[in-house]
Amino acid sequence: MIISKEKIIKRFVSYVSIDTESDPNNSAFPSTEKQWKLARLLEEELIQIGLLDVELDNNCYLMATLPSNLDYDVPTIGFISHIDTSPDFTGKDIKPQIHHDYNGKDIILNKDKNIILSPDYFDDLLQYKGQTIITTDGTTLLGADDKAGITEIVTAVEYLIQNPNVKHGKIRICFTPDEEVGKGAHLFDVDKFGADWAYTMDGSQIGELEFENFNAASAKIIIEGKIVHPGYAKGKMINSILIANEFMEALPKNEVPEKTTNYEGFFHLHDITGSVEKTILEYIIRDHDLDLFNQRKELIQEIGDSINKKYNKELVDINLKDQYFNMKDKILPVMHIVDIAEEAMKDIGVKPLIKAIRGGTDGSQLSFKGLPCPNIFAGGHNFHGRFEYVPVESIVKATEVIIRIAEKVSIKFM
């Protein structure tokens, strides 16, 4: 199969030029109005390509159908990506830079600001020597998470329509809002989607194939203090900032994202605001093992209770909220859907990298809603920051994986 790199670049750049940053502090669907702009553009594009049942609902979920071209029945499969980009780093006014025939050396993202993407620090770059790499200008994220996935799905279904000799069953696609703020699957209508299983195109480097993910929770710790004139504060002032420091110091020092890997869980303090009277700590809690995950939540609560006991006051209030769970238990009974993806990768010359996700995708929640949904690479690296990049060749290969999965299902269930 021949997938045009030029078409991939043009399509991807058109998507990332639209700001779709989501908002964790807004309960609306979608959490930002600007996500509608890309959703509506995609709606028109899918209609023009020739997909059927193109529907953009009131919550910004866009679904469509590629009908089967077989004369026998096979399972309906789905492919899913998300529209929004992370609120961790700005996605406004993205200026993609295209670097052809990468030479393995430093890439200057922004000369004026001295922002450099270097293989000395990001050594994954070296595996893409000679390829075409798309980066930011160093002032925004890129949005390959997950507009690379959208590019791959749209390009794959367009290819299948234009090449009817490639046999496939019914394919459903969906683009979701608000994945980056943990809500992407909340209002996903699994019954309406109507697939036997699906794949999220939301992984990172080429070859990734994942059916395990973190169990995830958030913890908001509110610490109340008492302000008194510092000259007369002895025995009266309660400095919530110092108590917050006690709380942080009580957590394991090495169980943080920057010191853990593989199946190791962590506590991640991602936001802190404070004054003498009130300090708020916001953590995310992650672990692949459910028992260890529950122990982490218990430890958070125990630390708060211990501080309250120490000061004989209810100073620390903890709000724990589960976010998603490890989809492994839902995938193991249907491991053939992972095997099909693995075989598809091998068929097109991609070495599968089967590993656990140190994060989550819409697929983790969808699996618990009855739609088994492993995760496949979309090709990007260094998501959620200024050093994000994606090799165009990885987007091409992910597109080919989608096409090959569709072919393999038509053969395996003949």
Specify the CATH number for the domain of residue 29: 3.40.630.10
Q: How high is the pLDDT of residue 165? A: 97
Q: How high is the pLDDT of residue 347? A: 98
Q: How high is the pLDDT of residue 362? A: 86
The CATH number assigned to the domain holding 317 equals 3.30.70.360
Residue 342, exposed/middle/buried by CB under 10 A (0-12, 13-18, 19+)? Answer: middle
Q: How far apart are the first and last CA of the chain?
A: 22
Q: What is the DSSP string of 207-264?
A: TEEE----EEEEEEEEEE-B---GGG-TTT-B-HHHHHHHHHHHS-TT-SGGG--TT-
* 42 and 113 share one domain: yes
* 184 and 73 share one domain: yes
Count H helices, E strands: the chain? 10, 17
Domain edge (last residue) among 324, 346, 362: 324
* 318 and 405 share one domain: no
Q: Which residue has the tokens 């609902």?
A: 57
* 138 and 265 share one domain: no
User: Rounded to an integer, what distance in angstroms lies between the CA atom of residue 331 and that of residue 276?
Assistant: 48
User: Rounded to an integer, what distance in angstroms lies between the CA atom of residue 133 and that of residue 260?
Assistant: 28
Residue 86, exposed/middle/buried by CB under 10 A (0-12, 13-18, 19+)? Answer: buried
Q: How high is the pLDDT of residue 156? A: 98
Domain edge (last residue) among 304, 324, 344: 324
Q: Which of 152, 178, 179, 208 is catalytic?
A: 179
3-state helix, strand, coil in the chain (%, to 5): 35, 25, 40
* 200 and 315 share one domain: no
Question: Could you report the per-residue pLDDT of 333-355, keeping only the tens digit for each?
Answer: 999 999 999 999 999 999 999 99
* 224 and 164 share one domain: no
Q: Which domain, by its residues, includes 265? A: 215-324
User: Rounded to an integer, what distance in angstroms lies between the CA atom of residue 354 and that of residue 337?
Assistant: 13
Cβ-Cβ contacts under 8 Å for 234 (sequence gap 6 or more): none
Q: How high is the pLDDT of residue 263? A: 94
The strand pairing partners of 200, in sequence order, are: 80, 375
Give the tokens for residue 359: 């994060």
| Tens digit of pLDDT at every position of the chain (414 positions) | 789 999 999 999 999 999 999 999 899 999 999 999 999 999 999 999 999 999 999 999 999 999 999 999 999 999 999 999 999 999 999 999 999 999 999 999 999 999 999 999 999 999 999 999 999 999 999 999 999 999 999 999 999 999 999 999 999 999 999 999 988 999 999 999 999 999 999 999 999 999 999 999 999 999 999 999 999 999 999 999 999 999 999 999 999 999 999 999 999 999 999 999 999 999 999 999 999 999 999 999 999 999 999 999 999 999 999 988 999 999 999 999 999 999 999 999 999 999 998 887 789 999 999 999 999 999 999 999 999 999 999 999 999 999 999 999 999 998
* 224 and 268 share one domain: yes
* 129 and 205 share one domain: yes
Q: Which residue has the tokens 């989501």?
A: 22
The strand pairing partners of 218, in sequence order, are: 284, 321
Domain edge (last residue) among 324, 340, 355: 324
84 is catalytic: yes
User: Rounded to an integer, what distance in angstroms lies between the CA atom of residue 38 and that of residue 56?
Assistant: 11
* 189 and 320 share one domain: no
Q: How high is the pLDDT of residue 360? A: 77
* 227 and 197 share one domain: no
What is the chain's alpha carbon radius of gyration, rounded to the nearest angstrom?
A: 23
Q: How high is the pLDDT of residue 171? A: 98
* 219 and 206 share one domain: no
Q: Which of 84, 202, 208, 388 is catalytic?
A: 84
179 is catalytic: yes
* 296 and 320 share one domain: yes
Structural domains counted in the chain: 2
∠ CA 250-262-152, nearest 5°, is 125
